[in-house]
Amino acid sequence: MQQKIPTVIITGAGLGGLSFYHALIKNKDKKEFNVKIFERESGPQDRWQGYHIGINNFGARSLINCLPSSVASNLQKGMPNPIPDVECHGFSLNDHMGNLLLKPPSKQAKDVYGVANASGFSAIITYRDRLRDVLLENVPVQWGKKCIGYEETEEGVWVFFEDGSKEFCDILVGADGINSPVRKQKIPELQIFDFGITQINADVAVPKNLIDRFIRINGNSLFQKTLGLNGDATFIIYRLIPIEQEQEQNDKNEPHYRTTLAFSYPTKLDDNVENDKIKVDDNDPASVIDHAKHMIRKLRPECELTNIMLELWSLVPRTAPDSDKYPFKTYNPVQRRQMQDINPLSVNEWTSSRVTLLGDAAHAMSPVLGLGANNAIQDADVLSQALLNYSPENYISCIKEYENEMLKRTSADVLKSRASTLRQSSPVGYFGAIFRNNFMKMINVMMNTFDYDFFSRK
Ligand SMILES: Cc1cc2nc3c(=O)[nH]c(=O)nc-3n(C[C@H](O)[C@H](O)[C@H](O)COP(=O)(O)OP(=O)(O)OC[C@H]3O[C@@H](n4cnc5c(N)ncnc54)[C@H](O)[C@@H]3O)c2cc1C
C-alpha cells in the first residue's frame, strides 16, 4: 500500500524558514513531503529586512546544501561576489579613536562557494533583504497568516492562525523568530535574556568621500566595530559596490554605498537622558537619530572618528523616504531596541515531539559575532537531513537527532556571543581601556601569528 505523503508546516518565512523549505523540496526524490509555509507579514515588502549580515563558512556551506541550483544561481543578487583588491570581507575591532585592536585572519574568497570551501574563517557581507528575496522566489508563501498556537495529538498537529483558520500537519517547525508563539507554547520556561543594552540600527547610503575618510582611520574591513570607554560600541557593515539608483538621483559623480549602522550603549544611560533635556520618541525617527547623535557626542571624545560617526548618523532618513529614490526596498523607521538572546539549553527538559523550532525562535543571539542567521541556515540543513529518515514510526528519532545537534551547537554560540557582548559593553574608563586595548592587541598578534580565529568553528 502506498504511504500517505507527510505534511510539514513551517511558520515564518525568514532566512531560516525559507532555507528549510528549499531543502525539503530539493530532497523530494529521496523523501517527499507536502510542505506549507505561513508568514504573518502581509507580503514580501511588508517589513524592514534591510541590514547587512556576514555569511560565514558554515552558513554558506549549509545554504548551498539547502538550495536547488535554480535558486543558488541567483545568490549573487543577495551576496555579490567580493571585489578583489578593493573589498576586505572580514571583521575588525578598533578603539574609540580608531586604533586597531583586533583583526582576525579572514580568507578572501571569490564567491559564496569559495567562502563555503575555505579552510579557516571566511565570510561574505550579504544584503539581507535581497537574500530573502532570492529565497522567496517561487516559494508559495501564504502571507498574512499569523500563527497563534497549536494543538498536538497522537495523529498530528493542528496549527491555529489569528484569522481563525487552522491547518493540520505531521510536523510543525516554528521558524517564527525571537518572539515565536510556537516556542512559548512548547517550552514556556525558556526565557528571553535581556542584556541591559540598547541598540539603534539604521541603513544609509554613504557617499564615497565619507567611506574613504572612515577607511583611512579604521582600515578596510567591511564589518567594523569600535569600542568606547563607557560600554558603548558602534557597528558598521558595508559593501563597496556603488548604488546605481542613488547615482541617478543625486550627485552623478560620486558613488554611494549601502551601509548598515548600529550604535549600542548600556540602557541605564538612557536614565540620564531626561536630565539632558532630550525627548526621545521611538515613533519619531528624527528624535531617535538626534538621540543617537547626542549619545555619541556625550560618550565619545572629540576626534575625526567621532565626527565621521555623527556624519553617518546625519545621513539616516528622518522621515519615511520616497520609495523610488530609496536604495533599500523597505524603510525601517529607526528605533531603539533592547539586545536580547535565548540560550536553548537554559531549561532542563527539551522533549522531542512533532513540534520543533528553528533559527531565532530557538536560539536568538546577540549580533556581535554575526552568528544568528548562519545558525538558522545550518538548522535548516541539519533538520532536512534528519527528516530524510522520516517514517510514521520513527519521526521522533529524526527530530531528536536534529535537536541534539542544534541545541549543543547553538547554545555554545549564544553563550559565546553573550560573553563577548557583555565584555565589550562593560564601562572600562580611561585606565581600564589601556589594559583592555593592550590585551586585545596581544590577542590580535597571537591570532594572526598562529592563524587562529575566534569566529571559526572547527
Ligand atoms: C543588526 C543586526 C545584524 C546582524 N548581523 C548578523 C550577521 O552578520 N550574521 C548572522 O548570521 N546573523 C546576523 N544577525 C542575526 C540574523 O539577522 C538573525 O539571526 C536571522 O535573521 C534569524 O533568521 P530566522 O529565520 O530564524 O528569523 P527571522 O529572520 O526573524 O524570521 C522569522 C520570520 O517569522 C515571521 N513570524 C514571526 N512571528 C510569526 C507568527 N506568529 N506567525 C507566522 N510568522 C511569524 C516573521 O515575520 C519573520 O519573517 C543580525 C541581526 C541584527 C539585528
Please state, in angstroms and rounded to a whole number, the distance separating the CA atoms of residues 369 and 310. Answer: 24
Provide the 3-class DSSP secondary structure of residue 102: strand
CA separation (Å) from 113 to 72, 107, 125? 10, 13, 14
How far is ligand 1, taken at its centre, from the CA of residue 122, in Å? 22
Residue 298 and residue 276 in contact, taking contact as beta carbons nearer than 8 Å: yes
Write out pLDDT tens, residues 377-420: 999 999 999 999 999 999 999 999 999 999 999 999 999 999 99
Q: Is the pLDDT of residue 3 over 50?
A: yes
Ligand 1 pocket: which of 53, 122, 201 to mutate (most atoms within 8 A of CB): 53
How far is ligand 1, taken at its centre, from the CA of residue 182, in Å? 15
Q: Which residues pair with 341 in a beta bridge?
A: 193
How far is ligand 1, taken at its centre, from the CA of residue 33, in Å? 25
Q: Is 379 exposed, middle or buried (0-12, 13-18, 19+ CB in 10 A)?
A: buried
Q: Categorize the per-residue pLDDT at 455 as very low, low, confident or very high, splitting at 50, 70 and 90.
A: low
Cell numbers 528519532 correspond to 397
Instruction: Write down the pLDDT at residue 243.
Output: 86
Q: Counting atoms of ligand 1 from 1, which one is nearest the CA of 15?
A: 25
Report the share of the chain in percent with pLDDT over 90. Answer: 80
How far is ligand 1, taken at its centre, from the CA of residue 392, in Å? 31
Instruction: Write down the pLDDT at residue 246.
Output: 45
- Residue 87 gets which letter from DSSP? -
Write out pLDDT tens, residues 265-308: 999 998 766 666 668 888 899 999 999 999 999 999 999 999 99
Q: Is residue 262 within 6 Å of ligand 1 at its C-beta?
A: yes
- Domain 7-43+141-192+343-422 fold is FAD/NAD(P)-binding domain (3.50.50)
Give me the residue spans of the domains in the chain: 7-43+141-192+343-422, 57-127+194-341+428-458
Instruction: Write down the pLDDT at residue 453.
Output: 67
Average pLDDT for residues 134-147, to the nearest whole number? 97
